[in-house]
Chains A and B, each alone.
Chain A
């Protein structure tokens, strides 16, 4: 595979699995710059193993974030009383 151009003049380099894995969590956290993101996305589109790893990390992160989704509020009576007293 060769480096490619995304049509906006930005060269999208090929990266290997080691580099892709290094960037994965920054990508998931939306902390990658555009060109590094494009390079990773290009890699993920062609590498099943890295894509599996990416999907796994997303699911772990979703498990953690779902801890915040409680149907019942945990606001205490103490806090409600405090707000009423303000």
Chain B
């Protein structure tokens, strides 16, 4: 049973991280209603175990870990994760680079142009469409600012797995953003131009080669 000071401390801690917990829950459930339930279940579970938490500097990752455990136990039971696991792991790690795609278009400062036109809503949508294992990795890393080590603890996977999931998440995200760039018509008219990156560091680094039009 928590004493009043602990209750106050607990409430303060939860309120401090509630937005982040809700974002993480939404990214897992893809549904606001289920996400709210998941956060509530997390808070109750955390409240029951709060006295057992010795190191309060780890409180944030502790809350996220409880949330993830709750998600796995509750939602997996209901088969809501089945399709996610099937679609999540099979993608090969090829070397797609949005930066290279953009700079190869031959237009003036294409990457700056793209970044200017890239809206928060587009980025959010691209993240939402990632398979779960990549979505949760990128959300914990780039939105919630956890280190690889902390993410490994939250998701209970080796740190190397976290690193590769984040890398794959970024690859897929960049592919989605490239599609967005194509839809925006940001790729210019020089579709058969290509860029050759020449490693002459400190000199002329990049040569754009126009393919001969026949």
Contact = CB atoms under 8 A, between A and B. Distances in A.
Contacts of A65: 142-143, 145
Nearest to A62: B142
Which 4 pairs from chain A and chain B are nearest by CB?
A49-B205, A47-B201, A46-B202, A64-B142
A47 B123 contact: no
Contacts of B10: 86
B147 interface: yes
Contacts, number: 107
B123 to A, nearest CB: 5
A68 to B, nearest CB: 4
Contacts of B40: 78-79, 82
Given A46-B201, A82-B44, A86-B10, A75 B118 contact: no
- Residue among B127, B197, B199 having the largest count of chain A Cβ atoms under 10 Å: B199
- Residue among B115, B118, B127 having the largest count of chain A Cβ atoms under 10 Å: B115
Given A30-B147, A56-B99, A64-B142, A17 B19 contact: no
Interface of B: 7, 10-11, 14-15, 18-20, 22-23, 36, 39-40, 43-44, 47, 97-99, 103, 111, 115, 118, 120, 123-124, 127, 138, 141-145, 147-148, 163, 166-167, 170, 174, 177, 197, 199, 201-202, 205-206
A68 B36 CA distance: 17
Given A52-B111, A83-B15, A67 B123 contact: yes
A83 B201 CA distance: 57
A17 B99 CA distance: 14
A78 B36 contact: yes
A27 B194 CA distance: 27
Contact of B43 (A30, A53, A68, A79): A79
Contacts of A43: 201
- Residue among A1, A17, A25, A64 having the largest count of chain B Cβ atoms under 10 Å: A64
